[in-house]
Each structure stands twice: as structure tokens, then as C-alpha cells.
Amino acid sequence: MVCVYSGSGEVARMDSREQRFSGGSGAAPAARATHAYLVGGGIASLASAAYLIRDAGLAGNQIHIFEELDVVGGSLDGEGTPQSGFVIRGGRMFTDEAYTCTNDLLSFIPSLQDPGRTVRQEMQAFNERIRSHSRSRLVRGGKKVDVSTFELSNADRLDLLQLMIQSEESLGAKRIEDFFQPSFFKTNFWYMWATTFAFQPWHSVVECKRYVLRFIQEVPRFATLGGVKRTPFNQYDSIVLPLTTWLKHQGVQFQMNSQVTALDFQHGPHGKGVERLRYTHNGTETEIVLKEGDVVFVTNGSMTAASSLGSMTSPPRLETKATGGSWALWESIAERNSDFGKPAVFSSNVDESKWLSFTATLHDPTFFALMEEFTGNVAGTGGLVTLTDSNWLMSVVLPHQPHFINQPDGVNVFWGYGLFPDERGNFVDKKMSECTGADILVELWRHLRFDAHLPVMLETANCIPCMMPFITSQFMPRTLGDRPQVRPTGTTNLAFIGQFCEIPDDVVFTVEYSVRSAQTAVYSLFTTGKDVSPLYKGQHDLGILLNAMKTMLH
């Protein structure tokens, strides 16, 4: 029996394999017969759907997004209430130059706050008004660190230059710690680098090289985070919500609580193609048989797979990759197709890919007032503040308030994270991974020497920790072939999108990479006459290169 859903989002059953997917009931007639099935409801799929509509001429009701959760957005999340506490697993930074695909996407999505403007225009206006200029990037011993020098030695500088010119092939699966001297990891440069991008010494040196080149224009303003652009609210409210609203308005079909469990392939004269997509919806196993011209986009792997929340009084649990279908689907198709990458390279070392973030909802203004005075930055203008002597290597960000559309006056929200969750705190004698939300706040506030205010600040605070076992899985050392091509050679109707497909030169752990994968997938599977937005290469601009070198000499 073949089950399809009818276009209203409901699952309907069909009795014959001849009866194929029927499109949306009552929706506008499709411009062409093609249907696109998108696995995952993160920004990679949402962007793919937008480009399928804008550039490939598909009607919304020909596009079907399968998401195993009951919410879209994937890693671009943001939820909660003042009473239950707000949660963002992450706070995202953008830049103008490096985010050409994202900027393109957001330039045709109407803002929800001001429908006369696009999301891009809304973001630009916000960043004109609230400019990033950190006055307190690093803190040690409860005091601001002078970051006017990167503290690089000549050997470190030479290593960085060498990294920029050495080929990815010759670097292979080396780790960052294989390339630099131990003293490099104690410099201001490393503390800022590691915590801005969440790099660990054991991560891929190839990815580190890509980041150096991709963000070379940021080096002179690295200590102040001066080039960082932000969204007015958290990225769910400012990006996912307007984008999803626009897609729904176009008729895109969102199949929630639907986990794609398998893809069956058939070999034809033109190559290998997906012939059947299997999924479970509310516990019922269902399948879709593709017809000529249909395409499947798969978000393979996810940095927030198996993430779990704790509370003010309980730590989060460490889940395994068996939670959810993200790794399982990739494993199942890669097992029989050697050109679909090696998921185990990314998913099999949780100790090296996990860390913990936390979101605190505060009903008392004391912490924000103390922090604004200490840092010299009004909330929203500073960005990451990193405690370099924290055993957990903890950083916090006080975003512009309100950070949530439904956040009332008198409530403040901030976010933070620790790169070493298995270390014991300097003040709280527990591993960060064993800490409740309250423990984490105590550790943070004692580092900042705010001890005297602890009781009043804790009384109405609600800090929700979040464990993410695979948060830096995309940074694990890899070689060519470990990630599938966006459009694997020899396949007819399949594309891989998201953070674990191969895109030359671009950097993972970014929204940009997922949007670029979406553009690449759409433009390679359909004749659109469009080119993928050019990848900004600051290293080819002599002025940028010289400015970066000059800063590294300080």
C-alpha cells in the first residue's frame, strides 16, 4: 500500500502503486509535474523550497518538507515564554561580505514586523542602529584582558601563513593541534578564534584553513567583533518565522512529525535515482513512490541531533545518535552507496563533538546592569565575552532586548556556552555537563566577581542548559569523500543539502553553508539560468590581505 498525504498535510492512503502523489488538493495548478521532497525542516530545506519556487518555477504545493519534529527551523531555533523560560540552542553571527547566499535569500522574503520591507532590509536597518563593538572580548581573573595584541609569536604567524597556502589535499585529516605549537593555544588570538567559531584543538585543520580565508576581512576588527551582523530578534523569530510564513503562503506542504527512514534507489540508463521515500508519521510507516522528474533533497546529519534540555534544577541528559532519524538515514543510504559519504567520521566521537549551551531568562535587572557597567557595552553591542580562565571556557552574549517577539518589558534573556563540558567548574565543583541551570549561573557570576548580588539575581532567574552531542561534529577531521557532493555524480534526482555535503571553499557551522547548498542543489537539478551567489574571497584583495597581516603582527 502506498500512502500519500493529500496536500492539506493529512495522510491519505492509496491502494495502488499506479496512484502516485497527487499534489495539493484545491491548490493552484502545478506549473509542471515535478514534485520535490525535502528531508528536514532546517534552513537548508526552507531555503531550497524558496529557490525552487523563485528560480525553478515549482508551485508551492509541489514542494513537500518532511520534518521529524513538530517545529521547523532545525538548528535555527528559539522558543519559550517568560514563565517557562526562553531557549535558544545558539546565537548566530553573520557578516555582510561572507554571507552572499543568505543575503540573497533574505532579500526576497518579506519581514513580518514590516511587510513593506524584506528580512534583509530589516536586518540592515537593525545593524545600522545597533552596532557591534565589543569593549570586553576576553576576561581573566574577573578583569578585562587587553586584546589590542593577538600575542602571536613569529612561529605562530608563519604557521598561519603556511596554513593559508597549503593545499587541503596535503593537510588531509590533520588536526589543528598537529599544525600549531602548544603555545599558540594560549594566545589571545586563539581564545578569540576558538570561542567565536567554536573550534577545538582536535578539530579539522582544513576547516580552520577555510575559516582563516573566508573571514580574513574580519581580522582587523576581530577583537571588537566589529564586522558581526545580527538579526533583530533570535533567528527563529527573525528568519525562520518570516520564511516559513512566505513558504506556507506559496502553498508549500509541511509534513511535521514525519521521520524519513529510508530511500530506495533504482538504476536506469541515466544513472542512479531515488524511486521510493519511506517515512513514519505518528508511528505509521508510509511511503511515497517518485515519478519521472521528481526530486529528493536530503539534509544529511545535524549538529543539533539528539540535543536535550535540562532546567534550573536538573542537568540535561546526554542522548545518543539513536535519538531521531538524522544520522540513521544518512548511515542507511551511505551503507549501500559509497559515494554518499561516511557519516561515522562525524558522528562517532561524541566526546570531541559535544558541548553545552544555556539560555537564562531573568526577571531582575541586576545582572544586565552589572554586566553593562563591567563591559562598557549596552546589551546588543558587545557580543561574546569569554572567561579565559574558566575551566569550562565559558562565554556569554547579552543580545539586544527583547530577543524574542513575545518577550515583555522587565524580562531579559542572555545566552552562553562552555567548550569543555567535562571539566569541573572553578567555583562549582561539578562537571559542566552535570550542572543544573542554577549551578551554571553561580559559576558564571562568581567568575565575574558578582558574588554579592548572587541571591537577588538567582531568586527569579531561570537558566535552561542544553546538551548538544554533535554540535561540532561538522568540524571533525575529514578527507575528501567523507561528505557527499551536493549533486553526487551519476545520480539523477538526488541532492544533499545542509552542513555535511561538500562545497568547495565554504565553511560549515554557518547558515551560509546550508543556504549555499540549497542554491547549488536547485541550480544543478533544474535549468534556471541562475548561478550560485559568488563566494566572497577576501584573500584575493591585496588591501584586505595586507590589513590582516598588519593586525597579526601586533
Q: How far is the CB of 456 from ligand FAD (least distance, A)?
A: 29
Neighbouring-strand partners of residue 281: 258, 284
525's CB contacts (< 8 A; 6+ apart) are 56, 295, 487, 493, 495
Among 20, 35, 64, 89, binds ligand FAD (CB under 6 A): 89
Angle of CA points 102, 104, 109, to nearest 5° = 90
Q: How far is the CB of 5 from ligand FAD (least distance, A)?
A: 14
C-beta of 76 vs 312, nearer to ligand FAD: 76
Positions in 100-159 near ligand FAD (CB under 6 A): none
314's CB contacts (< 8 A; 6+ apart) are 436
- Which range binds ligand FAD by CB under 6 A, 8-16, 116-124, 372-380, 509-517? 509-517
- Which range binds ligand FAD by CB under 6 A, 36-44, 169-177, 420-428, 456-464? 36-44
Rounded CA separation 141/118 (Å): 44
Site membership for ligand FAD, residue 34 (CB under 6 A): no
Site membership for ligand FAD, residue 259 (CB under 6 A): yes
Site membership for ligand FAD, residue 41 (CB under 6 A): yes
Site membership for ligand FAD, residue 90 (CB under 6 A): yes
C-beta of 243 vs 260, nearer to ligand FAD: 260
Site membership for ligand FAD, residue 515 (CB under 6 A): no
360's CB contacts (< 8 A; 6+ apart) are 413, 414, 415, 416, 437, 441, 461, 462, 463, 464
Among 215, 404, 496, 509, binds ligand FAD (CB under 6 A): 509
Among 118, 304, 473, 492, binds ligand FAD (CB under 6 A): 304
Record the cell numbers describing residue 299, joined without a space.
Answer: 539534509
Angle of CA points 303, 532, 297, to nearest 5° = 45
Q: How far is the CB of 183 from ligand FAD (least distance, A)?
A: 28
Rounded CA separation 105/126 (Å): 18
Q: How many residues make contact with ligand FAD (CB under 6 A)?
A: 36
C-beta of 400 vs 554, nearer to ligand FAD: 400
Residues present in the chain in total: 554
Site membership for ligand FAD, residue 238 (CB under 6 A): no
Backbone torsions φ then ψ of 86, nearest 5 degrees: -90, 155
C-beta of 102 vs 366, nearer to ligand FAD: 102
SS (HEC) of 480-503: CCCCCECCCCCECCEEEECCCCEC
Element (H, E) at 36: strand 36-39
C-beta of 260 vs 438, nearer to ligand FAD: 260
Q: How far is the CB of 536 from ligand FAD (least distance, A)?
A: 14
Record the cell numbers describing residue 183, joined without a space.
Answer: 603555545
Site membership for ligand FAD, residue 303 (CB under 6 A): yes
Q: How far is the CB of 308 from ligand FAD (least distance, A)?
A: 13
C-beta of 458 vs 501, nearer to ligand FAD: 501
The answer to whether residues 529 and 538 touch, using CB atoms and an 8 Å cutoff, is no
Record the cell numbers describing residue 17, joined without a space.
Answer: 502503486
- Which range binds ligand FAD by CB under 6 A, 162-170, 217-225, 302-310, 387-395? 302-310
Among 23, 24, 74, 418, binds ligand FAD (CB under 6 A): 74
Among 357, 377, 472, 491, binds ligand FAD (CB under 6 A): 357
Q: Which has the closest alpha carbon to 236: 82, 404, 399, 68?
A: 404
C-beta of 24 vs 42, nearer to ligand FAD: 42
Positions in 280-299 near ligand FAD (CB under 6 A): 299
Site membership for ligand FAD, residue 67 (CB under 6 A): yes
Q: Which has the closest alpha carbon to 501: 490, 487, 511, 512?
A: 487
Rounded CA separation 49/59 (Å): 10
Burial (CB < 10 A; 0-12, 13-18, 19+), residue 264, is middle
Rounded CA separation 309/316 (Å): 5
C-beta of 174 vs 210, nearer to ligand FAD: 210
Positions in 321-350 near ligand FAD (CB under 6 A): 325-326, 329
Site residues for ligand FAD per CB under 6 A: 39-44, 66-69, 74-76, 89-90, 92-94, 259-260, 299, 302-304, 325-326, 329, 357, 471, 498-499, 509-512, 514
